[in-house]
Each structure stands twice: as C-alpha cells, then as structure tokens.
Amino acid sequence: MKRTPLQSAILHTLLVLAVLLVCAPVIMAFIISSQTETEVLSYPPKLTFSSNWGYNYSTAWNRINLGRMMFNSAFIAIMVTIGKIIMSLLAAFAFTHFEFRGKQTLFFLIIVTLLLPVPVRIVALFDVVSKFGWINTYAGLIAPFLASATGTFLFIQRFKTVPTELIDASKMDGCRPMQYFFKILLPLTKSTIGALVVIEFIYVWNQYLWPLMATNSDKMRVVQIGIKMLMNAESSNNWGVIMAGVIMTMLPPLIVFFVLQESFMRGFALQSDK
C-alpha cells in the first residue's frame, strides 16, 4: 500500500499536531521560566521567550535548597534501581534454573506482592520504618522498595528465551552455576536491564506519598516534595521561578529515558513476544 503525497502530508500534519498538543504544557513551562514576574502576570498572557533565565533558575535553586533535594532523589533512585536489579536477577535465576522445594509457593508469594502497593500497607509500614529509627534517613526511603515483582518477572521472561544448549555447553566446560550466570546469562540480559533502569529510576524519582511521610527535615526532602515547597515559598505565585524549578526537576528522568529509550522499547516488545 503506497500513500499518495496528499495522504502522507495529512499524516505528518496530524502527527505534528499531536506532538504539539502533548508537549504544550512543558513548552509553556519552559517559556514561562524565562519571564520576569511582570511578564508572567501580564494579561493577556505573554507567550514568547524573555531573558530572565538566570534569576528564575538561580532563585528556584536557592530558595528550597534544590541541589540537596536533587542529590537525595538521585541517590535514592540510583540505589533502589541497582538493588532491585540485582535482587530480581538473582531471584529470576533461582526460579528459572533450579528445582527446589517450595518453589511454587515462593513464586506465588512474589505474585501476591502485586496486590500490595504502598497505600494498602501504609499504616504499618510507617510504623515499621519509625521503629527502625529510619524516618529522615536514606535507608527508610530505599529499603522498602528493593524487592520487585516487576523486575523478577521481566528477567524470568528473558531467561526463558535463552537456548538451553548454552547451559549444556557451559556445563561441559565445567562452568559452575554462578559462573554461568555472570559469564553467559548476564551479557544476554543487557536490554532487559536497560528497560528496568528506565522503569525503576523514573518510578523512584517520581515518588511522592512515601517520601512525604518518611521525611520531615529539609535536608532529607526529595525533589517532588520540593515542587510543592517551591509553590508555597513563592507566595506571590511567581510562576517564572516555579516553572524553572519544574524544568530542573524533570531533567534527570528525561535524560535516563532518552539515553535508554531503545532498550526500554525492546524490553517492552520482548514482554509480549509472539
């Protein structure tokens, strides 16, 4: 089926329109983050770039100690992502390459965790973390999220597609299980790991409810809470400063997303392979 030039022109127009519509709120935020307070408050609204970048971005950065929050969010997101990937890899390896007593039950228990998002257990989770003395600590923000059904399932699916000949061959070479895991399996799992990095980094960076409850000192706050704090601090609603803060806090997950986009898409595609 070949398209006529008119048909493909229509298609491109529709796609460009869709992109503009979807990106509009962020484009607008970017424009506003360049404007002075007077320009932001002008009516009718001014929709062109101005030159107040320096003031807006530095004010947003300093007013709420955004640097510290960026560090907190990044540290937590990186630690959870690494921890989750290691744990899920090991668990998936156990489920796919070994027979052992209680395997079915343990696998079932991992499925059950899908029924237990944070709000379902929040009352006692808060209590546990308080009793550990982990309020306002990195441990309290990291540890509860280290185990993941998502990751375990993704890796199980990936491991199942690895030809069994590889196991036999490596056993002939005298490979022990963990050697096989590190030398053969792991290199074959790169794009799944990439997909999981995207999913988990974004998930943790964007968390709101748990960090709001598990921290109360300015030193331990994360960027998502920072957005709200910035909106409250800028009581005159100087949206230029607020939007500058919004743009800065959205950058790290966006960078992760764009850098690993291909393995993210491949990781997904692999999920629903025919």
Partner 1 sequence: MNKSAFPNKYLPYVLLIPTFVILVVFLFYPAVETFRLSFYKVNPFSGAARFAGLYNFKNLFTNPAYLKSFFRSAVFAVGVVLVGLVLSLLLALLLNQKVKGAQVYRSLLIWPYALSPAIAGALFNFMFNPANGLMGYFTGIRTWLTHGNTALFVIILAAMWKNLGYNIVFYLTALRNIPTDALEAASIDGAGPIKRFFFITFTFLSPMTFFLLVMNTIYAYFASFGLIDVLTEGGPAGATNILIYQLYRDFFVNSRVGYAAAESLMLFMLVVLLTIVQFKTTERKVYYQ
Q: Contacting partner 1 (CB under 8 A), which of 121, 183, 190, 219?
A: 121
Query: Which secondary structure element, helix H or strand E, spans residue 141, and what is its range?
Result: helix 138-142
Q: Is 150 in the site for partner 1 (CB under 8 A)?
A: yes
Site for partner 1 in 57-86 (CB under 8 A): 86
Residue 227 carries which side chain, given as an amino acid letter? I
CA atoms within 13 A on the CB side of 94: 15
The DSSP H or E segment spanning 4 is: none
Query: What is the end-to-end Cα distance of the chain in Å, rounded?
Result: 25
Q: What is the smallest separation between the CB atom of 67 and partner 1, expressed in angstroms? A: 18
CA atoms within 13 A on the CB side of 213: 14
> 85: closest CA among 222, 210, 189?
189
- Residue selected from 60, 85, 141, 153 as contacting partner 1 according to rule CB under 8 A: 153
Taking CB under 8 A as the criterion, which residues in 159-198 touch partner 1?
160, 164, 167, 177-178, 180
Please enumerate in sequence order all residues whose Cβ is within 8 A of that of 149, keeping only pairs 6 or more positions apart, or say none: 110, 111, 113, 114
Contact between 259 and partner 1 per CB under 8 A: no
Among 53, 75, 138, 257, binds partner 1 (CB under 8 A): 257
Question: Segment 200-229, which members bind partner 1 (CB under 8 A)?
Answer: 202-203, 205-206, 208-209, 212-213, 224-225, 227-228
Residues 264 and 198: beta-carbon distance below 8 Å = yes
Which residue of 66, 220, 242, 244 would you call a contact of partner 1, by CB under 8 A?
A: 242
62 or 237: whose CB is closer to partner 1? 237
**Residue 55 interacting with partner 1 (CB under 8 A):** no
Instruction: State which of positions 33-52 bind partner 1 (CB under 8 A).
Output: 40-45, 47
In eight-state DSSP terms, residue 46 is P
Q: Which residue has the tokens 């409250």?
A: 232
Smallest distance, partner 1 to C-beta of residue 218, A: 17
**How far is Cα of residue 3 from the mean position of the Cα atoms in its chain?**
39
Q: Rule CB under 8 A: choose which of 147, 184, 188, 233 binds partner 1.
A: 147
> Among 222, 207, 221, 211, which Cα is nearest to 73's?
222
Return the amino acid letter for 104: Q
Of residues 75 and 146, the one with the C-beta less far from partner 1: 146
Q: How many residues bind partner 1 (CB under 8 A)?
A: 104
- Of 18, 169, 186, 259, the one binding partner 1 (CB under 8 A) is 18
Could you say which residues in the range 90-119 bind partner 1, by CB under 8 A?
Answer: 90-91, 93-100, 103, 106, 109-110, 113-119
